[in-house]
Structure 1
Amino acid sequence: MCCSGFLKIMMFVFNGGIFLAGAAILGLGVWVKVDSGSLLGFLDGVEDAPDALDQLVHVSYLLIGVGSVLLVMGFLGCCGAMRESRCMLLTFFSIVLIIFIIEVAGAIVLLVFQGLADQLLQGLEDEVRKGLQARYGDDNSMTPLWNSTMEEFHCCGYKNYSDFENSPYNTRYGTFPPTCCNENDNATAVCDLAHAERSDVPGCFHVLLKFIEDNVLIIAAVALGIAALEIAAMVVSMVLYKQIGSKA
């Protein structure tokens, strides 16, 4: 009886962790979805972008799906232990095993993508530059998106200010976006060529590369933590499943 009670407590602990992790992932997915000014957003406006990068735009749906499933699984595990339902425990074990396999595969893909991120992003340089020089300043969807991205991440163009040379904006005003100049160097609030040349504002794709690399490690660490909880929960659920069966 004591052992059974301990196992139930362990099920509540493990599934409580899974439930909280699911809530966190679901919240992150919702945030990414509603944050239209994030770096993921402007990938929609890049022509001929690699398929691997294009899929990043839809990462919010994956996060929302995984978070929702984890929420359900946490609830199912706790309910199965409380009611001592062998059917619910077996269902819990089976679904968690499937999710565990998917998460391991996803973590491997993320780690592999980290090594390919630099190569993929470098392959976008020509297309992005062409798009900026042809449309920035005239395109009512591209221009605000790039402005919000550059303001949020304190970056300029793909590599630097030169990406905006001969763009509609540069041709019309003879200047560059204000974010392409250092704040303390742009006292006149006009980012002309002289100010832009001596600025050290990084390109947005260098910032994006660092953003991806940093967050891939965080996501992989979270996934490994969730996987550890899931393994423990599967072991405990099977032990509890057998104990309930022996009672019957």
Structure 2
Amino acid sequence: MCCSRYLKTIMFISTGTIFAVGAAILGVGIWVTVDADSLLDFLDAPPELVGYLLIGLGLVLTFIGFLGCCGAVRESRYMLLTFFIIILLIFIAEVAGGIWLLVSRAGVKKLLEDINEKVVVSLKEHYGGPDDEAFTTSWNTTMDTLECCGYNNYTDFYGSPHVNMTDLYPIECCKEGTYCDVVRAAVDANSGCLPKLETLIKDNALMGAVALGVCGFEIAALVMSMVLYTKVGQSD
């Protein structure tokens, strides 16, 4: 009895946290959908699309958190079983995705190349354009923060409205902090943002720890929900 009460308390707290996180993500998704001038513009991604994805994720997490939390408190076998099935499906999908990432490196490389091409094209078409101030400002902020230039390097700005109008490259592309032409940029340019991001990710072991933590939490949730499900069945 004491063990059952302890499990109920842990599951209530953990699933309640999931519910709160889901609600927060849902709120951010709604904000991004409403705010078309979001900083997401720097990736040239439609804010509405990203907003809908966040809303969907928020709704799923909120629903999962509600099932686990309410199922534990009310000792509902139906809710606990539904919670178990959903978490199990998510866990299987994550394992399958991890295996795919390890085995299909060519697919991952192709995906990165597609993203690369999309971002570079958006830079050439919109950076410095009279109707693309939000896009330009977002990229300037990103480059200034990471001390990088373009997605790959300064050549990403070839043909952009800014270069076409000024024959100069962005201040962030030049280590001296001033606008520079192609000759100086070729010698004195900061590296691209993609290599900086790759280095940042490689040097940051936190992502791996978070992934392991998520998997560990899911396994614990599966065990707790099934144990409670069994105990509730025995008490009926």
- TM beyond 0.5: yes
- In the alignment, does 2:160 pair up with 1:167? yes
Q: 2:86 & 2:199 partners in 1: Cα distance? A: 29
Contact 1:121/1:209, CA 8 A, preserved across alignment: no
Contact 1:38/1:149, CA 8 A, preserved across alignment: no
Question: What amino acid does structure 1 have at the position aligned with 2:7?
Answer: M
Alignment counterpart, residue 55 of structure 2, candidates 48, 52, 61: 61
Please state whether the residue corresponding to 2:45 is helix, strand or coil: helix
Q: What is the CA deviation profile of residues 99-123 of structure 1, one whole-angstrom value per residue up to 9, with x for unaligned ones?
A: 1123114413552357444331223
Alignment counterpart, residue 82 of structure 2, candidates 95, 98, 108: 95
Q: How do residues 140-155 of structure 1 correspond to structure 2 at under 5 angstroms?
A: 140=132, 142-155=135-148
Shift of 1:16: 1.2
Shift of 1:175: 1.7
- In the alignment, does 2:133 pair up with 1:136? no
Q: 2:197 & 2:101 partners in 1: Cα distance? A: 14
Shift of 1:160: 0.5
- Partner residue in 1 for 2:65: 71
- In the alignment, does 2:217 pair up with 1:226? yes
- Partner residue in 2 for 1:50: none
Q: TM-score by structure 1 length?
A: 0.70
Q: Which range moved further: 148-157 or 208-217?
A: 208-217
- The alignment of Structure 1 onto Structure 2 pairs a total of residues equal to 221
Q: Which range moved further: 196-205 or 8-17?
A: 196-205
Shift of 1:159: 0.6
Which of the pair has the greater relative contact order for Cα pairs under 8 Å at 6+ separation?
Answer: 1
Question: What amino acid does structure 2 have at the position aligned with 1:27?
Answer: A
- Partner residue in 2 for 1:20: 17
Q: 1:152 & 1:34 partners in 2: Cα distance? A: 24
Q: 2:135 & 2:96 partners in 1: Cα distance? A: 30
Contact 1:29/1:64, CA 8 A, preserved across alignment: yes
- Partner residue in 1 for 2:2: 5
Contact 2:81/2:229, CA 8 A, preserved across alignment: no
Contact 1:161/1:180, CA 8 A, preserved across alignment: yes
Q: 1:175 & 1:237 partners in 2: Cα distance? A: 66
| Change in 2 beyond 3 A, CA 1:229/1:209 | same
| Unmatched runs of 5 consecutive residues or more in structure 2 | 33-37
- Partner residue in 1 for 2:35: none
Q: TM-score by structure 2 length?
A: 0.73
| Unmatched runs of 5 consecutive residues or more in structure 1 | 46-54, 82-87
Shift of 1:158: 2.1
- Partner residue in 1 for 2:114: 123
Question: CA RMSD for the aligned pairs?
Answer: 3.5
Contact 2:18/2:62, CA 8 A, preserved across alignment: no
Q: 1:168 & 1:221 partners in 2: Cα distance? A: 45
Alignment counterpart, residue 234 of structure 2, candidates 218, 222, 243: 243
